[in-house]
Each structure stands twice: as structure tokens, then as C-alpha cells.
Amino acid sequence: MLQVNLIREHKEAYVKALAKRNFEAKSIFEKVLFLDEERRNTQTQLDKTLAESNRLSKEIGKLFKNGEQQKANLVKEKTANLKQESKTLTDKLNTVAEDLQDLLYTIPNVPHETVPAGVSEDDNEEVFAEGEVPKLNEKALPHWELAKKYDIIDFELGNKVTGAGFPVYKGKGARLQRALITYFLDKATKAGYTEFQVPLMINEASGFGTGQLPDKEGQMYHMETDDLYMIPTAEVPITNMFRDNLMTEKDFPISCTAYTPCFRREAGSYGAHVRGLNRLHQFDKVELVRIEKSENSYEALDKMVEHVKELLRDLKLPYRILRLCGGDLGFTSALTYDFEVFSTAQNRWLEISSVSNFETFQANRLKLRYKNKEGKKELVHTLNGSALALPRVLAGILENYQTENGIEIPEVLRPYTGFDSIS
RNA sequence: GGAGAAAUGGCAGAGUGGUCGAAUGCACCGGUCUUGAAAACCGGCGAGGGUCACACCUCCGGGGGUUCGAAUCCCUCUUUCUCCGCCA
């Protein structure tokens, strides 16, 4: 959620920046500023009314104490009007404040100056690429065929137990997945992130805090009886642990990591793009979250990018980094880098990480602030990134490491898997 | 799931209808003293809105109500604790 005072100050610049997302902000901003002024005016009127009735109440108290009942009753009559008036004003205030809030919720984050304009993923900007695409022979298989051949992932079983998009990992497949998780967590811990285990369901307030609600409730699984949502990413529980916090300088840096399953409804897709592990309703992910002072946040973003690069380098997977264009940028993000691994057998790029700086957009909703050296309260910046999302990493490994004799295990994972190949 | 108790500032803990935004202690910040530190003493010290700054308004778990007036009374929800039941 954008800050109203900043909208007032930087209206023109914001309108221009939001145009990169193809978001027409001008008239909405005008409405926001109008409602905000209305809100403040109403508040002032209400305050005056309440002040007067507070004054009278105290007077009545004194009169009663002095035994001047009659005088007190006279004053009492005067309060009736004020009461009615303050009720009317309170109602008005609530309505205006709510309208303002609703409107603010519809405005996406202002893109960073480096974000290119664009309408779709085709306009994303490649900023880095590394790693060699292996030469595979003609008989190379896509990962879902490999999974079947070596009996390490069973999609049919998942269908039976739950439904499409909930695979069952078996034997060395399960072990490889666990090895990846442990490896990622170890790397994050070494890089200074504190490991957490967090709830896999969240309440409504948390959904609002990180911006999944109110817009994207269709993306999350909802437990109606208890009004809880399955997490679509660990970002939600982790970031919300800090909701309503007022931090001090000493609390920084804050860097957290967690492994969790993630649940996404992802309605509406079909075909080869959702084959196998490409898109699932339940998948595993190791997530990084950082909470930073505004002046440090972009440095922190770079560090996260470097961290993810290192993971892919270690796994020797060919990948590229994209700077998302305005049209592809998430609602809450100011700047996002997507990492994609090249899936050789499918001959396409698979997104395996997304690293973003939300600046104050989430912090404003979360009321997550810190007291700076001058004792002034400032909103913090929140950042997060996947390090990494498992299924597509697994797909990349299976496809890129396949040989005629089986699938080799990347060197760095062997201490974790306890085997060198799957055959 | 059943029975009972509780929820107050960073923490502990007073406060049961009127000058209570809230005693006191600890923690924290500033000062005096000290070679330095500790102790002692003095002062400051919750949050949000509002203002150039004051004034002023709101907040004692959340929501609603009674009253001229609520931290205090009533209703309701949530959470925590104790006991019982069930249970990985």
C-alpha cells in the first residue's frame, strides 16, 4: 500500500512510473487525495465535538461532587446534541476512511527506476546469463518421462490421493528432494540467515499484510470452517512475524530463511506448460526474507541475487536472470529479478527463483517501522527471494544431468543424497 | 470438547464509574559526580491522528452496549493459564 503523503508529494513521478505497468493512476490519485482531505477535515470536526463533550462531562462531575444536582442536570441536557453530532461524524469518518483504504488497496507498487516498461514476459530484460547448456543426445527425455523410467516421482499416485498437481516423490526422488532442501538451508544459514519453521496456514490479517489479500484470494486455498489460508509461499508467515513491530537500529539486519511446502490453486492453465513438475498445486521451496532500513535495501537485494547465483553455479545449471518489466512485475514489488534454468529436454526456460524488493509497500500495510537515530519512525523495506523453488530445480537436474546410464547427481549434493546417480 | 481464572506502557505490576493515558519497580535515554566504570542523585521515557509548533482527539486484548462520563459495569469474540477428557 502506498503512503498518502508520498502520493501527494510525488504525484507526477508516481503517475509516470506506474504507467510502466500500464496502470493509469492519475484519476485514482486525485480521488485518494480528495478522500484524504475529507478524512482529515472530518476528523478535526469530530475532535472538536468530543473535546466539548469531554469538557462538559468534567463539569458535571464537579457539580455532582459539590451537590449541585440541578445545575448538573441542566448541563446534561446540553450533551445530548453533542452526542448525536459526534455519532454522525464518526459514521462519516469511518465511511471516508474505509473508501480511502479500499482505493489504496487497488494501487500497485511504484516500479523502481530501472524497471523497463512493457506489457508481458516478452518485455523482460535479460541482465545476466551463466552456465553451459549440455549437449544431450536425441534420445534425451523430458523430466516426467525420466521420473517414470526411474520410478522416482509418481504423478498418478498423487492424482489418486489428492488430485492433479500433487505429485508423490519416491525413493531416490524423495531423497534427492530432501537433499536439495537441506543443502539450500545450509547455504542460507552460512550466509547469515536464521532458519525458521513457520505455520503453513495463515489468518486473514497476515494475508492482508503481505498483499495476498484482498486481490489474490483465488490463488490461495481457503479453509472455510476456520477461516485460514494455506500459504502460497513462506514469505507470508515469515514477513508477518514482524507485523506491527516498532524496531530499533540494533535489530538490524534481519534475515530469515525457511523451508516450507507452498500451496497454489493456479486455476486456468493447461498443456505442456503444466506437464510434470512445471506447475504444481503443492511444491517445496526454501525462502529468504530480509527486513532492511531503506538506505540498505538495494544493497541487500544485490546480495540476495548473488546468493541465488551461487546456488545455481554450485549445481552447475545453465541459467539467466531477468529484470521484470512493468507489465510482468508483481502487484507489491518495486523491482524483481527472475531466475530461470534452462530445461534442455523441454528446450525452454523454467522460473526457479524470484527475488524482489517491496520497499515500503508491505511495511505500510504491516505497520512495520523502526526508530531511526533521530528518534523518528520510518517504515522499513521488506525483501524476499526463493532460494530455491524445488520442483523446477529438480526438473532441471533430471533433464540436464541425464545420461544413457542414468541421472548423475551434482557434486555438491552427493554428501546429502548419499548416492552418485539414479539408475 | 467440559469447568474455572486472566488479558493494563519494552517487561513486571497497581488501579472496580469522574482531573487515569494510567501509581510503583525494572529496563532504556540524558545530566551531575568519577581518571574510567559502577553506585548514588536529578531529569526524561508508550502508540496513532492532528498542528509550523502548541492545543486538541483516540487507544488499558478485538468488537458492541449502558452512562453526561468506562481501564473500571454489561454482551460477544479472541488469546493465555490451571484442572478434567481426548490425542501424535
Asked whether residue A83's C-beta has any atom of DNA/RNA strand B within 7 A, the reply is: yes
**A39 backbone dihedrals φ, ψ, rounded to 5°:** -60, -45
Nearest nt (C1') from A61 Cα: B18
Asked whether residue A247's C-beta has any atom of DNA/RNA strand B within 7 A, the reply is: no
The whole-angstrom separation of Cα A87 and Cα A85 is 5
* Interface residues 187-246 of A with strand B (CB < 7 Å): 246
Asked whether residue A31's C-beta has any atom of DNA/RNA strand B within 7 A, the reply is: no
CA of A181 to C1' of B85 (A): 40
pLDDT reported for residue A267 = 59
Amino acid at A26: K
Question: Quick one: average pLDDT of A117-138?
Answer: 89
**Tell me, what's the ipTM?**
0.83
Contact positions of strand B to protein Cβ (< 7 A): 18-19, 47-51, 55-58, 68-69
Nearest nt (C1') from A80 Cα: B68
Domain extents in chain A: 4-104, 121-422
* pLDDT of A76 above 60: yes
CA of A54 to C1' of B21 (A): 15
- The model's pLDDT over A206-219, given as tens digits with 9 standing for 90+, comes to 888 888 887 777 78
pLDDT reported for residue A249 = 78
Fold of A121-422: BirA Bifunctional Protein; domain 2 (3.30.930)
* pLDDT of A268 above 60: no
CA of A43 to C1' of B52 (A): 20
**Residue A409 is placed in which grid cell?**
547427481
Residue among A186, A194, A143, A136 nearest A314 (CA): A186
Asked whether residue A54's C-beta has any atom of DNA/RNA strand B within 7 A, the reply is: yes
Q: Indicate the pTM of the whole model.
A: 0.90
| Strand boundaries in A31-154, DSSP class E | 125-130, 153-154
Question: Quick one: average pLDDT of A337-351?
Answer: 91
Nearest nt (C1') from A40 Cα: B50
Residue among A24, A32, A1 nearest A100 (CA): A32
The whole-angstrom separation of Cα A361 and Cα A333 is 8
| Strand boundaries in A187-323, DSSP class E | 194-196, 201-202, 222-223, 228-230, 246-248, 254-263, 282-292, 319-323
Asked whether residue A40's C-beta has any atom of DNA/RNA strand B within 7 A, the reply is: yes
Nearest nt (C1') from A73 Cα: B68
Question: Is A38 exposed, middle or buried, given 0-12, 13-18 or 19+ CB atoms closer than 10 A?
Answer: middle
Asked whether residue A78's C-beta has any atom of DNA/RNA strand B within 7 A, the reply is: no
- The model's pLDDT over A278-317, given as tens digits with 9 standing for 90+, comes to 889 999 999 999 999 888 999 999 999 999 999 999 999 9
Which has the minimum average pLDDT: A70-84, A224-238, A286-300? A70-84
**Residue A156 is placed in which grid cell?**
498418478
- Kindly indicate the confidence band of residue A273, based on its pLDDT and cuts at 50, 70 and 90: low
pLDDT reported for residue A255 = 93
Tell which CATH classification among 1.10.1220, 1.20.120, 1.10.287, 3.40.50 matches the domain A4-104.
1.10.287
CA of A134 to C1' of B75 (A): 71
